[in-house]
Structure 1
């Protein structure tokens, strides 16, 4: 019959930590605390041997542990690691660099360690740069947005010329400026029409791509859910829904 597996702490030590050493006098309390520190330090340093432990052994190690219990244990372990880092005044960026170097070394020398390649730790600077890039990609106008804005500005400029020209045309009594205004007004009207048609077509295509087609796809997959989601948005906050639809255009 197999004996019970050894633990980082003995059963007595776990009980005394949970009870905050309440049943011991100061001398015995300090003695047990020192023993616990030594056991934890020795066990913690053993992780240097386990960092590149085979994946299948890690899988078998916790196969009988429920996912929620393992998740809670990993969370507490992460807290302890971060506390030790803070206590030792080790910068997180320095630690991440050390982790990356060790991961590369272990990946090159070990076998059955595919999980090492999935470790993704990023420094504060890297997270900030990634966030900035994502925000830039999200809010920076795309190629067709820029073209749409250019057409809108062109149309506004042409409409101003049309208004000013129509104001000047009847007030000009010498007849010298009118021959010049006629082709200018015609060109301005033509530019206004072309820019307006182009702006409408671009925004209609964008609305079709980003609003109508996704809705039709959702409608074909689950009609009741798609209609219920749309009606719910309209009932709860109609102005917000209309504004979002306008922004999509």
Structure 2
């Protein structure tokens, strides 16, 4: 299987120029599915820390690049929405956040904010022993004793070291949300109304912003709090 793919075919969320050259690095299988951006693209194309895949491999082998609190040595490791990147030698920390048009961007944060990450709950099931397993948007799972307080579309904050939930934001009218896909991606506002659609059509939401309001598909919004709006520093 090829380790490259055509730039014109990559997801719109990838922060690269599609017409710059024909091919780019292909992400490994892993978190975030097809939307995952190879770590080397973040290092080379976004931050400019390296000029080539060879340099990226060398930099990662130094063990100073952390993804969600864990050392990453795979230059094709998928990076996606709400991941935390830490460059310990530089003392630089970033949260991957959806920008305008859904293109992923890096929001500078401090070391304390980099100790945990946000996850959207996309599924829940009971497992052996009676506990519940929450499936998050990036494909990872978190185990909890009482699943009754968590619902689909809620958001949780997971500590990178303990892997335990340290905060929980309920998906409900009045919640602060950000659009992560569609024409309003990157916009942040208050969830004013959840419109349940009869039949097989997707539910929609009305969101009020400082500049007005917008309507989008329910799956396109994620509940956040003020710490995730880019004002951490």
Instruction: Report if TM-score (shorter chain) is over 0.5.
Output: no
TM range (shorter): under 0.3
TM-score between the two structures when normalised by the length of structure 2: 0.21
Structure with the higher fraction of residues in strand conformation: 2
What's the TM-score, normalizing by structure 1? 0.20
Of structures 1 and 2, the larger Rg is shown by: 1
Larger helix percent = 1
